[in-house]
Every structure is written in structure tokens, then in C-alpha cells.
Structure 1
Amino acid sequence: MRLPRFLLAGVLLFAALFLLTSLFVRPPFEGVGVTAAAVFLVVWLVVSMVNAWLGVVSAGYRPAEEALALIPVFGVPAVVAGLGALGSAALWDGGPVIQTGRAPAVFAAGLALWGAILLLAGLLARRPSPARSAATAAAVHLPLWALLCLVNLVTGVRAAGYTVAEEVPLFLLNVAVPGIVAMAAWALVRRVAA
């Protein structure tokens, strides 16, 4: 059944966006949850529509069937994002804005993003296999994650006042930890499939 995997992918993607938004903003910023939810809803709507289109074009489902399936595929993660935004506003005055202990949050965001991409790679592929899904997830995640870590580096230099020399080792560590997990998973799945 595909629906639970879509729902998990949506929740992981929202968690990654929420953490990244918390990391990239400067206080006082009261719209972390709302910003993360707004970005998520746009991205998730596109993913949900691509899934519906693939269901009609590739799998041969009728448009009415895919429209009906679109309701929970888009709706449940959208509700989770809305609740996350409301909870953020109620619990943290629109935050949280992470100022200390950022490394675990960066790693968690990278791993949540990789998990979402891995699930979506398997769900949106024409002929899914664990090896292809892991390879696709690594190929999509690594450059995207490096770009997001670069944004984190620039944020650290421009907003927090760190030097580039201080930020580069953190950049490399931030890219490496989720990147190593993605590459190790790909290697493991490839070895098991062979």
C-alpha cells in the first residue's frame, strides 16, 4: 500500500522544512511554522499532482480515482503542516528559532530530507526497486543538501558574524553526515540486490 509511505514522506519533508526554517531565520521572527507550512504546501501539492498524473498516465488509473486518492495524499500531510504551524505559534511564539545546538538540528533536517526523497523516489518511479530508489535519492539529496548547507554557511557568516574559516569545517561536517548515510544506504542496498 502506497498511502502510508506517501504520508510518511510528507511528514518527513515538513519536518525537514520546519527545522531548516528554524535554522535560517534570525530572531525576532515569529513566522517559522507558518513559513515552513507555506513552502511545504506548495512543494507537496506539486508532488501530489505529479503522483496523480503518473497514476493516470503510467498506471492507467481513471482521473476520478486519482482525484479521490489525491485527497488523503495531499490532505493528511497538509493537516500535519497546519498543526505544526499552529503549534509553533502557540508553543514558541512562532518559533522555534534555533540559536544553540544547531548541529543536531542540521543533521536531523538532512536525514529527514533524505528519508522523504528516498520514499518519494520509490513511489514516483516507473519501475521501482530498492537499488534504483536509493541511487535516485542519493543523486537528488546530495546536491540539494549541499546547497542548503551552503545557505546555512552564508547565514552563519552574514547573520551570526562567523568567519568563512569558522564556517567551512561546519559546512563540510553538515554535508558529510547525511551524505554518508545516503551513500551508505545506497551501497548497502546495491550489495543486497547483487
Structure 2
Amino acid sequence: MNRITARTVEEGTGGPFAALVLDSDTGDVVSAGVNLVLSANVAPAHAEVVALSLAQTRVGDWNPGTDPARPRALVVNAQPCVMCLGTLIWSGVKALDFSVPGFEAERITGFDEGPVPADWREQLESAALPSTRGCSRKSARRFWKTSEAAWQQARLRSTTADDLDLGGGGGPP
């Protein structure tokens, strides 16, 4: 997951977020997603939404967890934002595993993760969707720490004066 996240940052296609939908029993990857918000100019194109959408397409069902014999899990390198938590509840996956807490992701990226309820984990539990903070935590934390400077540079590159519409033209630059 760290490799695809690093590539996303290097290529400037999105934020440093990645998600996998896995078969909970075998560990096989059903789908992978990265943050495409910046490159696609689509606000909901978060890594979790992309991975869940691709899993639904691959499985051929809006609910990739329909078959109880094949439980699915969402593995993310950062705690999901409020939008992704809502998507997760309706997605059909049966577990969440993440590494970096939301406040840390916000500090590094500058992204506002939205009004995540204080009891979000309890809400997932009540939806029979347990969450854990494991997800190769040491590896992910090391990645976030070493990639923070690269992410800040990528953000600066994507917001140069040439990229901004300062002429009042009303359209995209």
C-alpha cells in the first residue's frame, strides 16, 4: 500500500491515501484505490470510495459482502473521513483496518476530514462492522513520516500562481 501511495504523491494525482478491499479469509486483494480528488477534480474520489466502487464492479454487486462465505475488509492507510465512513457503512464490507488516526492525516496533508463523530467506532460496531487500528501501523507511520516533505512539495507544485484563476474569468485556468 505504501508503494501505491508514494506513486500517487510522486505523480501528483492525489493525496497520500490508499485503500484496499481484501477477502478477509484469504487476504486476496479484491480491489485497490488511491485518492483521485486532485487529478479528477471530483471531491468524493477518496481512496476508500474508489476501492469500494472497484470492488463492487469486480464482484458484480453493489454489496461486495453479499456472500457471507466471502467476507470483505477495507484496509486504509489513514482513518476514513466522515464521507468515507458513511460510504463504508453502506458498502457491504465487514471490517475496517486503518493505520494513521485522522488528526495525524489532517496535520500532514492539511485536508479537513470533516465532522467525524466522536463515537464513530461505536457506530461501525452497531452496524456489525468492527474497526481496528493495525494495518502495518509501524510501516505506515514510517511512510507518512518520510513522505510528509514530499507531500508538502507536491501540494506547493499543484497550487502555483499559474494554476489559479486570478483574472476573474470565472472558468477553469
Pick 1 or 2: higher relative contact order, CA cutoff 8 A, min separation 6: 1
- Given the two structures, how large is their TM-score scaled by the length of structure 2? 0.28
TM-score (norm. length: structure 1): 0.26
Relative to its length, the structure with more strand (as a share) is 2
Q: Which structure shows the higher helix fraction? A: 1
Q: Over alpha carbons, which structure has the higher Rg?
A: 1
